[in-house]
Amino acid sequence: MSWLATWRKRAKLTQQALADQVGIKQSSLSSIEIGAALPSVTLFHQLIDATGPTADEIADAVEQMRAVKKGKVDGDAVTALAA
């Protein structure tokens, strides 16, 4: 499970509810959850505010996103890392 799916489910939010809360489409949120897209810094902060992860979880998510951005791993690998 991805970092975002973990945070969202712990906050007891559906994809649609979280997407509505941060002002994006559900399909965009889904793309972030599967690692096909990365959130902007602003959106990342909104996701943090909406779901309440710990500082360690935030740091782990940032590292996973950096790895994806650098092309070191694909979205499936990020999902596996978060599981």
Give the CATH number, domain containing residue 73: 1.10.260.40
Q: How many CA atoms lie within 13 A of 80 on its CB side?
A: 6
**Contacts with 11 (C-beta within 8 Å, 6 or more apart), sequence order:** 18, 50, 51, 52
Domain count within the chain: 1
DSSP codes of every residue in 7-50: HHHHTT--HHHHHHHHTS-HHHHHHHHTTSS---HHHHHHHHHH
User: Can you give the pTM of this predicted structure?
Assistant: 0.82
Of 63, 46, 8, the residue nearest 30 (C-alpha) = 8
56 versus 66: the higher-pLDDT residue is: 56
Average of pLDDT values for 38-52? 97
- Segment 9-38 shows an average pLDDT of 96
What pLDDT was estimated at residue 17? 98
Q: Indicate if the pLDDT at residue 77 is higher than 60.
A: no
Q: For residue 67, what pLDDT is reported?
A: 86
Boundaries of domain holding 39: 3-82
